[in-house]
Structure 1
Amino acid sequence: MMEAAEIPFLSVFQLSELIKSRQVSPVEVVEGYLDRIDRLNDRLYAYLTVCRDQAVEAARQSERELAQGEYRGPLHGVPVAVKDQLNTAGIRTTCGTPIFNDVVPDADATVIAKLKAAGAILLGKLNMTEFGTTSLSHAFDTARNPWDLERFTGGSSSGSGGATAAFLCATSLGEDTGGSVRGPAAWCGLVGLRPTWGRVSRYGLRPGMWSMDTIGPLSRTVEDCALTLQAIAGHDPNDAYTWDVPVPDYRAALDANLAGKRVGVVKELLYADVVEPEVRDAVSQSVQVLAELGAQVEEVSIPLTRHANTISSVLRVEAPTNYRELIRERLQEIEHDNRIAYLTWSLTPALAYYKALKLRALLRQEVLAALDHADVLVMPTMGTAAPKIEPDPIIDSKAATNRNRAGLTTSFSLASSPALSICCGFTSENLPIGLQIGGKPFAEQTILNVAYAYQQATDWHGRRPPI
């Protein structure tokens, strides 16, 4: 019999096989995770709300269904957690701000409903930066990185990164606007996928930036990421911007054969000034692994990627439009960095926004043109490993500049294309490094296959954080 303390260290796939064969029960699984949350969350600050009673009852129901031969699929009985930006019926949804401490939605977001329909069990709601529109500053306690408790997890899906990396849930959901799934994945040593804009319903998601927000999974393996995406993808009548296109069986289609696959290395991002030498070396070595696995590798140029963060920063005028009433009536309750940012973005001239939209269209054309000659594009996810939680990025302008420029994720957000981060090594301080793999719209399967081949050929994902 498996020890309860060992259950959280299983992958989703391993766990699902044991649950399906009734070698472990969903109740045992949930209790194992809740015990670990009890022991570690006060050091990690990954969860804002733990749904203890609801999770235990859901586990009992899951067990009853198994006894009756009602198996829902590979997520049946698997404990998951979600960023507190997603509405959950009867459970508070703060969006990372005490202003919404008493907000309790009446209905689940579509992705929550889909997870439940797939048999997953919700453990709780995860920490995040306020409103999801800043990458590091928290209105609640700052989420801590399990690889080093003095460092950031990345944002804005900070708790999703910390909880998944520390084995406080089997898999999780985050939300990626400019890189808020991929950034935490890189800094926490995970697999994090931003799907194509419109692949996953945003109904019930509290908005950050309407034109870029995307819900995606953070998992410990590519296989687990595929299983999680499978559960949440698809057209939703409640979200007019979801595409009515077929959803593949992502896990069943995983293929480690890279023979003939064309991999383009984006030189503007690999050799960017913000990419530290250890990161560049790790990414270069990972590209070599892909070549040894049979991929055809060549450098490509996408000039406008150098300016992606600048373009995105102008487009963030969209963010304060979601909270105009709060800005007018409760401004001092908004955290300092968001307060300044929202006021600044509110003053952005329409001509600047219009120019940024045109530049976005040009960048998207460049990205898609590069993908005409490559199956995937690769580059670092973040130019640095996770920084320490110091000092205040608003007070220390140099710290703010370095942190804000560290992300190399925005190009795919602007292009509305899918992209994934996977761990490709560690720094000399034992901090994870992320390789980013991007592809054509709705080419999630291609990205997952390249990542799967890489993960099968390496053992970075097998390391456990010291916590």
Structure 2
Amino acid sequence: MSRSDLHYLEAGELARLIAAREISPVEVTSAMLERIERLDTTLHSYAHVMREEALVAARKAERKLLAGEHLGPLHGVPVAVKDLYWSAGSPTAAGTTIHRSFVPSEDATAVKRLRDAGAILLGKLQLTEGAFATHHPEIAEPVNPWHAGHWAGASSSGSGVATAAGLCYAALGTDTGGSIRFPSAANGLTGIKPTWGRVSRHGVFALGPSLDHAGPMARSAADATLLLGAIAGHDPLDPTSLPEPKLALPESAHDLQGLKVGIDPQWNNNGTDEVIVRALAQVVEVVTSLGGRVEEVRFPEVRTVVDEWQINCGVEVAVAHAETYPRLSADYGPALTRLIEIGRETSGTQYQQVLLNRAALRGKINHLMARIDLLIVPVQPFAAPTHEQLGALAQDPELNARLIQFSAPFNSSGHPAITLPCGLTASGMPIGFQFVAAHGAEALLCRAGIAFQNATDWHRRHPAL
């Protein structure tokens, strides 16, 4: 196989080629490193490329393959992780300047599990400062490979750009208010925000721990499922991880027969761009053609919890940064500073009311999900927003509330969601949507995602680079 054909293979397809010895881990890792060197000076998706470490791991994977030892379902597949996952011996800065010299002595549990599954770690991917809204002023922002004038998504922007541009075969991101789902939609990818606690957060820098979700981003639902299966499961090092030791996930799916799929047009269409409304209508057609029974539902009122997301996250991030803020406040960017100050100024009684409102929403969503299997929701109301449209995001509570109105409720409630590409705008920018399911129903989401992509080809569209 020609090296020029490698970079947009699906991770699962590449793993099969490696297992069949049609391509070697060293060859594919070298090709990816060359592509990163050639393209990422413009795209800025990597915070740190682990060139030598990746080649050492690739040679080890090749030796084991030749010896008849198979490391796991990602044997020899080059991936990358958001630069807030610890990686032993390599810098982990979390999008900040205050941590740029931090070199952890151990891997995050999710990183260790990727390695155990045979993956080759190419490097660490850039993110917004501390995983909040905007990038630190001293750090180059990742560039959307579909169009440089458009948002690459926050905060897992580097994960979205690198995966979409063929600079890794899949990536790990985190999602506190939409940050797996936003860059997945913006870059034409599939991303899974699992049930809260499904993937260990041990060794992952925190933004808002009770809102933070760790999960995969990939170019297909099958690949995202493959990664989720590798990293999910109970971790005694994370006391909040769910007790199930392993997820049983589908390898294939061709229909949605027997599934009840809800949609709330009133909520979905409120203030949403027409191009997204039309794309969701096409999603409904595909779901129906696959045997899903689509019915209208009424989603609970979420505006209060969406408005209070910044208070909730602000209090938690103020605790997470207590050792460095305000001691090093001069080294913080304006957006993260503002969020921490919101948290520091919030009273205990105000915060308690936020938690009560959040618990009430979680209960109402649970009641809804007891009546349906899946829910169809937009990722965001804006179609392929430009940098100008989002320039005031971190400073404008109303704009931020609009942006996160379809994403943050499921961080607050902990429900799992999968984001899938479902169209393009007139200017050729990707559009995504979400399937949401009940707590613990990742297998159902993966089934739905794989079946949807067997019937569509949006996930096979790539930026012209």
**Are the aligned partners of 2:437 and 2:445 in contact in 1 as well (CA < 8 Å)?**
yes
Letter aligned with residue 353 of structure 1: Y
Aligned partner of residue 324 in structure 2, secondary structure: helix
Matched, 1:102 2:104: no
Distance 2:360 2:71 in 1: 44
Partner amino acid for 2:463?
P
Question: Which of 263, 266, 274 is matched with 2:264 structurally?
Answer: 266
Alpha-carbon distance in structure 2 between the residues aligned to 1:294 and 1:386: 30
Structure 2 partner of 1:14: 13
Aligned AA (2:239): A
Deviation at 1:228?
0.4
CA distance in 1 between counterparts of 2:334 and 2:111 reads: 31
Check conservation: 2:92, 2:103, Cα contact below 8 A. yes
Superimposed CA distance per residue, residues 22-52 of structure 1 (whole angstroms, 9 cap, x where no aligned partner) = 0000001101111110111111110010000
CA-atom RMSD in angstroms: 1.7
Q: CA deviation at 1:362?
A: 0.9
Map of 1:387 onto structure 2? 385
Instruction: Say whether the 8 Å CA contact 1:332–1:339 is kept in structure 2.
Output: no
Q: Give percent identity, aligned residues only.
A: 38
2:277 equivalent to 1:292: no
Q: Quick one: distance in 2 between partners of 1:247 and 1:266?
A: 33
> 2:80 aligns to what SS in structure 1?
strand
- Asked if 1 retains the 8 angstrom alpha-carbon contact of 2:305 and 2:354, the reply is no
Asked whether the equivalents of residues 337 and 394 of structure 1 are also in contact (C-alpha less than 8 Å), the reply is: no
Look up the match of 1:177.
176
Report the residue type matching 1:26 in the other structure. P
- After TM superposition, list the pairs within 5 Å mapping 1:283-322 onto structure 2: 283-316=280-313, 317-322=315-320
The normalised TM-score by structure 2 is: 0.96
The structural deviation recorded for 1:135 is: 5.3
Query: Which residue identity does 1:168 align to in structure 2?
Result: L
Question: 1:47 is matched with which residue?
Answer: 46
CA distance in 2, matches of 1:292, 1:135: 40
Q: What is the match of residue 326 of structure 2?
A: 328
* CA displacement at 1:382 relative to structure 2: 1.3
Assess, with a 3 A threshold, how the Cα gap between structure 1 residues 278 and 465 changes in structure 2: closer, same or farther: same
**Aligned position for 1:250:** 249
The answer for unaligned runs of 5 or more in structure 1 is none
Aligned-residue offset at 1:142: 0.8
Q: Using a 3 Å threshold, how does the CA distance of structure 1 residues 57 and 32 change in structure 2: closer, same or farther?
A: same
CA offsets 1:365-404 (integer angstroms, 9 cap, x no match): 1111111110011110111133222378359966x74355
Structure 1 SS opposite 2:179: coil
Residue 39 of structure 1 aligns to a residue whose secondary structure is: helix
**Whole-Å separation in 1 of the counterparts to 2:372 and 2:50:** 44
Change (3 A) 1:159 1:446: same
Q: Which residue of 1 aligns with 2:345?
A: 347
The residue type equivalent to 1:447 in the other structure is: L
- Give unpaired runs (5+ residues) of structure 2: none
Residues 1:324 and 1:210: Cα distance change in structure 2 (over 3 Å): same
**Aligned with residue 399 of structure 2, among 373, 398, 402:** 402
Is the counterpart of residue 115 in structure 1 residue 114 in structure 2?
yes
More off after superposition, 92-101 vs 382-391: 382-391
Q: How does 1:125-136 map to 2 (within 5 A)?
A: 125-134=124-133
Q: What are the Cα deviations for residues 336-381 of structure 1, in whole angstroms up to 9, with x where unaligned?
A: 1211221122101222211111111111111111111100111101
Structure 2 residue identity aligned to 1:434: G
AA partner of residue 399 (structure 2): N
Tell me if structure 2 keeps the 8 A contact 1:420–1:437: yes
State how far apart, in whole Å, the 2-side matches of 1:127 and 1:251 are: 31
- Cα gap change, 1:328 to 1:406, in 2 (>3 Å): closer
Secondary structure in 2 aligned to 1:98?
Answer: coil
- Higher mean displacement: 163-172 or 259-268: 259-268
Is the CA contact (8 Å cut-off) linking 1:201 and 1:233 kept in structure 2?
A: yes
CA distance 1:276–1:90, shift in 2 (3 Å):
same
Q: Assess, with a 3 A threshold, how the Cα gap between structure 1 residues 98 and 58 changes in structure 2: closer, same or farther.
A: same
CA contact (8 A) 2:300 2:365 kept: no
Per-residue deviation, residues 129-160 of structure 1 (Å, max 9, x unmatched):
00012256665111111110122211111100
- 1:143/1:152 contact within 8 Å kept: no
Aligned to 2:152: 153
How far apart, in 1, do the equivalents of 2:65 and 2:150 lie?
A: 42
Task: Tell me: CA distance 1:256–1:174, structure 2 relative to 1, closer, same or farther (3 Å).
Answer: same
Q: Aligned runs of 1:14-33 on 2, under 5 Å?
A: 14-33=13-32
AA partner of residue 9 (structure 2): L
Instruction: Give the corresponding residue for 2:374.
Output: 376
Residue correspondence of structure 1 range 212-227 to structure 2 within 5 A: 212-227=211-226
Name the CA distance, whole Å, in 1 between partners of 2:109 and 2:344: 30
Provide the aligned length of Structure 1 versus Structure 2.
Answer: 463
Q: What is the letter of the counterpart of residue 242 of structure 1?
A: S
In the aligned structure 2, how far is the partner of 1:229 from the partner of 1:5? Answer: 28
Counterpart CA distance in 1 for 2:352 and 2:302 is: 19
Change (3 A) 1:9 1:396: closer
Structure 2: which amino acid aligns with 1:279? I
Q: Secondary structure at the match of 1:193?
A: strand
C-alpha distance in structure 2 between counterparts of 1:206 and 1:437, whole Å: 27
Residues 101 and 409 of structure 1: CA distance in aligned 2, closer, same or farther (over 3 Å): same
**Counterpart in 2 of 1:197?**
196
How far, CA to CA, are the matches of 1:396 and 1:103 in structure 2? 27
2:209 is aligned to: 210
- Deviation per CA, 1:260-304: give whole Å up to 9, x if none: 21001133431221x111011101211121012111101111232
Secondary structure at the residue paired with 1:326?
A: coil
Partner of 2:163: 164
Corresponding letter in the other structure for 1:299: E
SS at 1:186's partner residue? helix
Check conservation: 1:92, 1:101, Cα contact below 8 A.
Answer: yes
The residue that corresponds to 2:274 in the other structure is 277
Give yes or no for contact 1:135–1:154 (8 Å, CA) kept in 2. Answer: no
Alignment partners' CA distance in 1, 2:293 and 2:102: 51
Opposite residue 287 of structure 2, the aligned amino acid is L
Q: Distance in 1 between matches of 2:322 and 2:345?
A: 13
Deviation at residue 186 of structure 1 after TM alignment: 0.9
CA contact (8 A) 1:96 1:139 kept: no
C-alpha distance in 1, partners of 2:277/2:458?
A: 16
What one-letter code is carried by the residue in structure 2 that aligns with 1:110?
T
1:402 and 1:241 map into 2 onto residues whose CA distance is: 32
CA distance in 2, matches of 1:396, 1:16: 40
C-alpha distance in 1 between matches for 2:371 and 2:83: 39
